[in-house]
Chains A and B, each alone.
Chain A
Amino acid sequence: MFFNSIDFAVFLPIVFVLYWFVTQRNLKLQNILLLAASYVFYGWWDWRFLSLIAFSSCVDYFVGTSLASANNIKKRKVLLWVSIVVNLGFLGFFKYYNFFAESFADAFTLFGSQMNVSRLNIVLPVGISFYTFQTLSYSIDVYKKKLEPTKDIIAFFSFVSFFPQLVAGPIERAKNLLPQFYSKRHFVYSDAVNGMRQILWGLFKKVVIADNCATFANMIFDNSGDYSGSTLLLGAVFFAFQIYGDFSGYSDIAIGTSRLFGFNLMQNFAFPYFSRDIAEFWRRWHISLSTWFRDYLYIPLGGSRGGTWMKIRNTFVIFIVSGFWHGANWTFIAWGFINALYFLPLMLNNSNRTNTNTIALGKVFPNLKEVAQVCFTFFITTIAWVFFRAENINQAWDYTLGIFSSSLFSKPELSENAIMSLSLICFFLIVEWFGRNKQFAIQGVDVLPIYVRWPFYIGIIVMLFVFTGEEQAFIYFQF
């Protein structure tokens, strides 16, 4: 079920009404309702994969309860490995089997021998990368005794499958989300209104910004040989806004929906395109994944402690693994590698934490230096996105060379609709700029008087219908 579908527009009010009017008095019943709703939500796409999520939940639940009673360190390690092997095993099989099989075959071909591998016709279960990491965080935290294992099986199953963030995050930590299932939720007017605002802004990002940008990004990437350098650059910019609008839009809808049910999820995007360097960008982009890798991979590897080579190794490991998490394709690995290259000078220079506060805080406009820093960071990020979007490394390379050709300074080929999309991006950036110190761009409109606030809402809703782009599936569903 997509958030921008009629199915969800019917589903959400039904669950909302049942949640607050029918099951409100009984916490257990409320959790059962959430669990049932989540399974319906997920099963709407393909009910067969419900068994996968149920099995994964069962394994981690029993690993958790067994860890509670296991004092023997060996036994604890075995239990942790059971969770890791099962979760990553599913992920590896469904997501990476074909990639590894083909890569092995290609490697053998390089050495002159032929190897035939059979490709499996596997459908990737939606959101497997997200809920796998969520359940893994539970097992690891319980193993490290940072979290008490739960005995409430309904709460645990609801935590794993919580429908707002099930298929595309934010990847919640058990420490934050699971305890929210233990305590009674109360309807808070301001939270619900904030939730609705965030859903509205998320829909705007997805339906108006991402879907409109997708039309041009697809057109330019699919026919990249026919365009000038300036148009190719514009295509990459369109893709940069498509992926941001698409993914952060989804996160906003997920967080907003959770607020309607009395849950607080972590912020997943903090206006990353206003970052002044690449380190700041990575603190603001897909925060739930970045922090997951930081806590469960980077720090266990030694983090930024140790010698220079250790730091370099850890930086490359985390970026390349993060790229690989996105998909079984060399383009994602290249994207991770490029970002590691961007990040490395900052880290080696100990300047990766220079820009930790919000840009131009307390001011209306940034200064010239900040403008230059933001533009440069956006430019290098956009070049990296070319590798993320391309079908293969060759296309990415040709596309990048095409951008840096002599035609980079020619007039880009722009249709009337493309100009309209650029105007929408400008409007979007202005709103995001003025809301950059909030959790989401339009959170601050609550201080405006009602005769300004409501026309603003109505304007956004009308734009949703008037400027709807060609419907596209959420990009992150494939991850």
Chain B
Amino acid sequence: MSKFLLRIFILIAMVYCCGEIIVRVYRLTPDIPRRLIDNSGIQRYKPGQSGYYAKSDHKWNVNDFGWLGVAEINYDKTIGIIGDSYIENIMNPIDCNQGTQLKQYVDNVGFFEAGRSGVSFIEAMEITKMLDTLISTEYNLIYVSSNDFYESFSSNKRYKDRIQVDLQKDSILKAKMKAPKLKNLIYNFKLIYYLYLRFPLFVNQENKNVIQTTKVNNGFDFVKFSGLFEFCKKNYNFEKNILVFHPGTEEEIIEISKNNGFKVIELNSEGDKSWVLGKHEGHWSCYGHTQVAKQVQAYLKPLIK
């Protein structure tokens, strides 16, 4: 028995080493940048890091401000682009980013991208505050979907590594780094990360093509959302912020945003070609980003003239 178990163990170890080599040589997973948390409680990346995008020779670089992507601050007017992993866009080269794409249509302003996976709506609003202080943005484009709103309420589920709002106490709950040392360790095991991405554990059983992104969507609650927008009105500059809604965002959320004075862009992904990278990868491809930028610039151009 001990010989059998020993050989199984050795075989697993050898398979693991081979798999690790294959994943690294063929860059089957993207490199993941390390994070830090600043005084305002916003998680960013440690400046100066670089790594490879998945299946690509292109490299990403973290800029001096702690964000990936475009950071143009030498213009009279700067537009902030805020969002989650869609804006962070670690899956595509930087030429596909919203900042680069929008620049093709609007060349007299600078774009500043502040995207990080897991950013909720309320965290995006906090980032607008930070950008205001840092570079005094003219406008902020905030890319959001329904989940980003539901994940903003601490009463739905408390995510300790994300900024959330406690409406009862009328206050922001700051984020804490979750197991940073463990994460640093795990990100070095590229095969495990590849398997995690390739064979997602949290797949909707009824529709296996839909990856479950959140379990806190309890349905639209008018009172809660009204409370959230009241909180935003008190604490953030509404005039500057434009909400860019992902395709498929709940109509009620878009309506209540409009009714509370937000400028709104609704993205429409209908067409022959899919915007996303694949069946198990719902992020936008470079084509998807191009289409998004086309729709956003149509709204943006007249606004900044």
Q: Mark A439-479, 1 if CB is under 8 A from B, else 0.
A: 00000000000000010011001100110101100000000
Q: How far is B136's CA from A318's CA once the two chains are assembled, in angstroms?
A: 82
Bound CA–CA A196/B201 (angstroms)? 25
Chain A residue nearest to B15 (CB atoms) is A461
Docked Cα-Cα span, A187 to B2, in Å, equals: 11
Asked if B1 and A462 sit within 8 Å, CB to CB, the answer is no
Query: Is A6 a contact partner of B201 (Cβ separation < 8 A)?
Result: yes
Partner of A462, one of B3, B15, B195, B279: B15
A-B interface pairs (CB < 8 A), number: 32
**A189 neighbours in B (Cβ, 8 Å):** 1, 3-4
User: How far does the Cβ of A262 sit from chain B's closest Cβ, in whole Å?
Assistant: 12
B8 part of interface (Cβ distance < 8 Å): yes
User: Which chain A positions have C-beta within 8 A of B14?
Assistant: 454, 458
Q: Which residues of B contact A418 (CB under 8 A)?
A: none
How would residues 140 to 155 of chain B score, 1 for a CB under 8 Å from any chain A CB and 0 otherwise? 0000000000000000
Interface string of B1-31 (1 = CB under 8 A from A): 1011001100100110011001000000000
Complex: chain A residue closest to B203, CB-CB: A471
Contact indicator A462/B198 (Cβ below 8 Å): no
CB contacts (< 8 Å) of A187 on chain B: these are 1, 4
Determine the residue in chain A with the shortest Cβ distance to B3. A189
Q: A471 to B15, alpha carbons, bound, how many Å?
A: 22
Instruction: List A residues at the B interface (Cβ < 8 Å).
Output: 6, 20, 187, 189, 192-193, 196, 454, 457-458, 461-462, 465-466, 468, 470-471
Q: Contact: A454 with B4, CB < 8 Å?
A: no
Interface size on B, residues (CB 8 A): 17
24 A-B interface contacts by CB (under 8 A): A6-B199, A6-B201, A20-B1, A187-B1, A187-B4, A189-B3, A189-B4, A193-B4, A196-B8, A454-B11, A454-B14, A457-B11, A458-B11, A458-B14, A458-B15, A458-B18, A461-B15, A462-B15, A462-B18, A462-B19, A462-B22, A465-B19, A470-B279, A471-B208
User: What is the CB-to-nearest-CB distance from A44 to chain B, in angstroms, rounded to a whole number?
Assistant: 13
Determine the distance from Cα of A243 to Cα of B18 in the docked complex, in whole angstroms: 31
Closest 5 pairs (CB-CB, A-B): A461-B15, A192-B4, A187-B1, A458-B15, A458-B18
Other A-B contacts than A192-B4, A196-B8, A458-B15, 4 sampled, CB-CB below 8 A, are A6-B201, A462-B15, A465-B198, A470-B279
Interface residues of B (CB under 8 A from A): 1, 3-4, 7-8, 11, 14-15, 18-19, 22, 195, 198-199, 201, 208, 279
A180 to chain B, nearest CB (A): 20
Residue of A nearest to B8 (CB): A196
| A188 smallest CB distance to B (angstroms) | 10
Report the bound CA distance from A462 to B198 in whole Å: 13
In the bound assembly, the distance between CA atoms of A187 and B208 in angstroms comes to 40
Instruction: Report the Cα distance A471→B4, complex, angstroms.
Output: 30
CB distance from B36 to the nearest CB of A (A): 33
Q: How far is the CB of B261 from chain A (nearest CB, A)?
A: 46
Residues of B within 8 A of A193 (CB): 4, 7
Q: Which residues of A contact B19 (CB under 8 A)?
A: 462, 465
Contact A465 B4 (CB under 8 A): no
Which residues on A sit within 8 Å (CB–CB) of B11?
A: 454, 457-458
A200 to chain B, nearest CB (A): 10
- For A454, what are the chain B residues with a Cβ–Cβ distance below 8 Å? 11, 14
In the assembly, what is the distance between CA of A196 and CA of B19, in Å? 20
Which residues from B are CB-within-8-Å of A6? Answer: 199, 201
Q: Chain A's nearest CB lies how many Å from the CB of B21? A: 10
CA distance A457 to B22 in the complex (A): 16
User: In the complex, what's the smallest C-beta–C-beta distance from A471 to chain B, in angstroms?
Assistant: 7
- In the assembled complex, which residues on chain A have CB atoms less than 8 Å from the CB atom of B18? 458, 462
Q: Could you say which residues of chain B place their CB within 8 Å of the CB of A20? A: 1
- What's the Cα separation between A99 and B8 when bound, in Å? 48
Report how far A187 CA is from B198 CA in the complex, Å: 36
What residue of chain B has the Cβ atom nearest to residue A17's Cβ?
Answer: B5
Measured CB to CB, the closest approach of chain A to B190, in angstroms, equals: 13
Closest B residue, CB atoms, query A191? B4
CA distance A220 to B279 in the complex (A): 19
Which residues from B are CB-within-8-Å of A466?
Answer: 22
**Complex: A81 Cα to B138 Cα, angstroms:** 85
